[in-house]
Structure 1
Amino acid sequence: MKGKTCGLCGKGDGEIRQEYRTPNGRVAKNSVSFAHSWILPAESCRDVSECRLKLESVQLEKQLTIHGDESTCLSVEPVPRCLPGCMPIKTTPVTVGFSCLQSDSQSSVFDRSVDLKQTTQAHLACNCNARCS
């Protein structure tokens, strides 16, 4: 089975530099991003058996001006976030790459190169109110 497996424990082929493969086949930048990529997102915050998290691209809190144009920077890898109607009760800082696009651009952020690296908060546990989405 050497080299014919894949998943959380790598490919089992003896190569160690690309062991952090995410479910979509990309190589994660570090072990934290790798672990977060394998979170199974919840469908609804009403089900108490689920972790109430989803993976999404996050926007850099500050807006940048690049080449004279207002730009919006989005993470190129997904970050765990609480579902709508839920508030984070445990977070951890993660450093992720951000791609900066002109504010009116519609291209996919996950296919973009990294323009800068910044720290953002990943949600690890959420508390949901009675009127969650």
Structure 2
Amino acid sequence: MRGQTCGLCGKADGEVRQEYSTPNERVSRNATSFAHSWVLPAKSCHDTSECYMQLDSVKLEKQISLEGEESKCYTVEPVLRCLPGCLPVRTTSVTVGYHCVPLDSNLNRSDGLSSIYEKSIDVSETAESHLACRCTPQCT
């Protein structure tokens, strides 16, 4: 099976520069975002696994100016976030890549998330990743 595996243990091919390959075959910038990329998310916050999280693209809170144009940016690496109706009880910061588009662009993170993961990285910034979530009574 040498070189024919993937996941948290890499490809088992002896090469170490690509060890942080995510499920979408990007190389993560750090161990935390790499490990988070392999978490299997829950389908709903009523999931019996009590893992009330999903992998999601996150919008950068601050605006970035790229080539003189104000831009909005979305992560090209999935970030662990609580499902709707659940609240984070423990978080951490991870450094991830963002793809940026002009402010007036109609691209939103909900528009084809799989396509945002294929985009180029324009900037690297931190994002808040949720490590543990608590379900609220209004959970959907």
The TM-score, its normalising length taken from structure 2, stands at 0.85
Aligned to 2:132: 125
- Off by >3 Å, runs of 4+ in structure 1: 64-70, 105-108
Whether 2:123 is the aligned partner of 1:116: answer: yes
Paired residue secondary structure (1:84): coil
Please report how far the alpha carbon of residue 69 of structure 1 lies from its aligned counterpart in structure 2 after TM superposition.
Answer: 4.0
* 1:57-93 C-alpha deviation (Å, 9 max, x unpaired): 1001122344454421111111000000011000001
Cα distance in 2 for partners of 1:60, 1:28 equals 18
Cα distance in 2 for partners of 1:16, 1:67 equals 35
The TM-score, its normalising length taken from structure 1, stands at 0.89
Paired residue secondary structure (1:114): coil
- How many equivalent pairs are there? 133
Please report how far the alpha carbon of residue 111 of structure 1 lies from its aligned counterpart in structure 2 after TM superposition.
Answer: 2.2
Amino acid aligned to 1:86: C
Point out where structure 2 has 5 or more consecutive residues left out of the alignment. Answer: none
* 1:114-133 C-alpha deviation (Å, 9 max, x unpaired): 22221121000001111201
Please report how far the alpha carbon of residue 11 of structure 1 lies from its aligned counterpart in structure 2 after TM superposition.
Answer: 1.1
Please report how far the alpha carbon of residue 112 of structure 1 lies from its aligned counterpart in structure 2 after TM superposition.
Answer: 2.0
- Identity among equivalent pairs (%): 57
Amino acid aligned to 2:53: L
